[in-house]
Amino acid sequence: MKTYNWDERNIITMDQKDVILHTNDLHVWYGDNEAIKGVDLQFQKNKVTALIGPSGCGKSTYLRSLNRMNDEIANTKVTGEIMYKGVNINSPKVDVFEARKRIGMVFQRPNPFSKSIYENITFALKRHGEKDKHKLDEIVETSLKQAALWDQVKDSLDKSALALSGGQQQRLCIARAIAMKPEILLLDEPASALDPISTGKVEETIISLKDDYSIVIVTHNMQQAARISDYTAFFYLGHAIEYDETSKIFTRPKIQATEDYVSGHFG
């Protein structure tokens, strides 16, 4: 086992006008286990940012904290700031459901509702009071087009979402998240349960979504991070160790542990 200097950091900062979300000194505890130990990262608008690092380093915990999903887990404490448009969304005063409308999330396993394709997309919109059928039809079409699924399902919107393939289900989940018109999409290993062809399609979808959304994605797949992201953060044991442009992380990172991790020689 190599020894590394874990006090070393290389964390880039960005011009505030380009930043859509950032965390200041974010800590997350599960009971006594401090899973995130003071992370300061900025996320740029209309870019894809990948979070990488070995299993258990806190990537998913950090991602989930960005739209307060950790609130759903008992015995969790989150301190520090999550700044979105001048508002600290980690404040107890913030309406969590409103925050999640703006910062949507797609999980590792496709989890469509046991409803029709159409209803999967309109369900939350209706709950938020949208009743206009014409408008709902329009949102269904736009969201499915953006998720690159429209052509395959436009003639079967009444079909059960569960009859779709895994890759199609995941793109439906992306369409469902997009339908709420978020600004930020959080993706937690969205392709890890998919075959290579479906993975390729989900990756193409993610790249095409950049024009309209800012995306933060957790991935175990180094090639995937290199293919689709503009920025990459390397996490280890609850710390963000290195954060830079993806091209730099994968070709000339400043920290030895990052270099070893991305080249498969870590540990």
Nearer to ligand ATP, 77 or 135 (CB): 77
Q: Which of 26, 35, 52, 194 binds ligand ATP (CB under 6 A)?
A: 35
Least Cβ distance, residue 189 to ligand ATP (angstroms):
7
Among residues 265, 245, 255, the alpha carbon closest in space to that of 48 is found at 245
Nearer to ligand ATP, 35 or 194 (CB): 35
Radius of gyration of the chain (CA): 19
Separation CA 62–CA 130 (nearest Å): 32
Nearer to ligand ATP, 247 or 267 (CB): 267
- Which residues inside 153-182 make contact with ligand ATP, applying CB under 6 A? none
267 part of the interface to ligand ATP, by CB under 6 A: no
Q: Is 24 exposed, middle or buried (0-12, 13-18, 19+ CB in 10 A)?
A: middle
Core vs surface per residue 163-182: b (16+ CB within 10 A) or e: ebebbbbbbbbbbbbbbbeb
Stretch in the footprint of ligand ATP (CB under 6 A) among 4-12, 51-59, 159-167, 244-252: 51-59
59 part of the interface to ligand ATP, by CB under 6 A: yes
Least Cβ distance, residue 2 to ligand ATP (angstroms):
20
57 part of the interface to ligand ATP, by CB under 6 A: yes
Among residues 20, 24, 1, 2, the alpha carbon closest in space to that of 11 is found at 24
Nearer to ligand ATP, 53 or 182 (CB): 53
Separation CA 104–CA 183 (nearest Å): 8
Among residues 75, 93, 54, 97, the alpha carbon closest in space to that of 218 is found at 54
99 part of the interface to ligand ATP, by CB under 6 A: no
By rule CB under 6 A, what count of residues binds ligand ATP? 13
Separation CA 116–CA 124 (nearest Å): 13
Q: What residues make contact with ligand ATP under the rule CB under 6 A?
A: 30, 33, 35, 53, 55-61, 73, 220
